[in-house]
Amino acid sequence: MTKLEQIYEGKAKKVFRTDDPERFIVEYKDDATAFNGQKKGTILGKGAVNNRMTNLLMQMLEQHGVPTHFVQELNDRETVVKKVSIVPLEVIIRNISAGHFAQNYGVEEGIVFDEPTIEFSYKNDDLGDPLINSYHARALKLATREEIDTIVRLSFQINDLLKEFFLAAGIRLVDFKLEFGRTSDGTIILADEISPDTCRLWDKDTNEKLDKDRFRRDLGHVEDAYQEVMRRLLEDKA
């Protein structure tokens, strides 16, 4: 497969066209942003961790029947994925209170919910990714009722699988963000990434933060945290 021209550059990844019309190549960067792009920085080695971790998790999910965009890891930073058009919804699943949930509803971080929550935001940087519900999403024609039903069902299934997988590596899955895409035949599949950029991950015993909150909140040892998560996930596999 030949890598052709770049068609998109986001905050953390670049996407390239290939000579196969149904395949893209994604390239993960070390660039980090937070607070809708207001805070910028570099996390050395992040691109490689996020690439390898996303691929490991997507392969695990595929084995359990979740359709994903993963095709083939090319090297440390590059992966072949199925071509999709991204559904402009960010799906957030929460198992434990943190971040905006704690802030918006005036509760402390660390409350373990009886069951997971789901919320959507409209993926639109100019508007600051505002929260919306499924009726708004349909009114805006971002997705059909059937597509939203599929996205909700897959998101909770993914949560169950990821929670168990992380726990086996000594990590609590606090919350995370997913994005889905439509293939050319209209099938909804998991796309984007699953990494310490998009998940809150706390050590099972100490609740030490092992994710992008170390960058957002200037807690130090950001690089170490990303490497530590990857090390634990691979150790668990060995």
Q: Are the beta carbons of 98 and 109 closer than 8 angstroms?
A: yes
Total chain residues near ligand UDP (CB under 6 A): 13
Please, what is the minimum distance in Å from the beta carbon of residue 200 to ligand UDP?
A: 4
Judge contact between 165 and 60, C-beta under 8 A.
yes
Among 29, 177, 209, 232, binds ligand UDP (CB under 6 A): 177
Q: Which two tokens stand for residue 153?
A: 């069902």
95 lies in the site for ligand UDP, by CB under 6 A: no
Q: Which stretch binds ligand UDP (CB under 6 A): 65-73, 134-142, 165-173, 175-183?
A: 175-183
Q: Which is nearer to ligand UDP, 67 or 99 (CB)?
A: 99
- Token representation of residue 90: 């960010």
Rounded least distance, CB 238 to ligand UDP, Å: 27
User: Which residue, judged by CB position, is nearest to ligand UDP in the bound state?
Assistant: 99
Sign of the alpha-carbon torsion through 168, 235, 174, 86: negative
Q: Are 72 and 146 in contact (CB under 8 A)?
A: no
116 scored as a contact of ligand UDP (CB under 6 A): no
Rounded to whole angstroms, the Cα distance separating 226 from 57 reads: 15
Q: Which is nearer to ligand UDP, 20 or 30 (CB)?
A: 30
Residue 176 binds ligand UDP (CB under 6 A): yes
Verify binding: residue 199, ligand UDP, rule CB under 6 A: yes
Start-to-end Cα distance in the chain:
31
Q: Which stretch binds ligand UDP (CB under 6 A): 59-67, 98-106, 180-188, 220-228?
A: 98-106
DSSP annotation string for 70-107: EEEE-SSSEEEEE--EEPSEEEEEEEE--HHHHHHHT-
Cβ neighbourhood burial of 18 (10 Å; 0-12, 13-18, 19+):
middle
Give the binding range for ligand UDP (CB under 6 A) out of 57-65, 66-74, 97-105, 226-234.
Answer: 97-105
CB of 207 to ligand UDP, least distance (A): 15
Single-letter residue type at 117: T
Q: Are 144 and 132 in contact (CB under 8 A)?
A: no
Write each residue from 27 to 66 as x if it is in contact with ligand UDP (CB under 6 A), else as -, in one continuous string.
Answer: ----------------------------------------
Q: Which residues bind to ligand UDP, rule: CB under 6 A?
A: 90, 92, 99-101, 129, 175-177, 198-200, 212
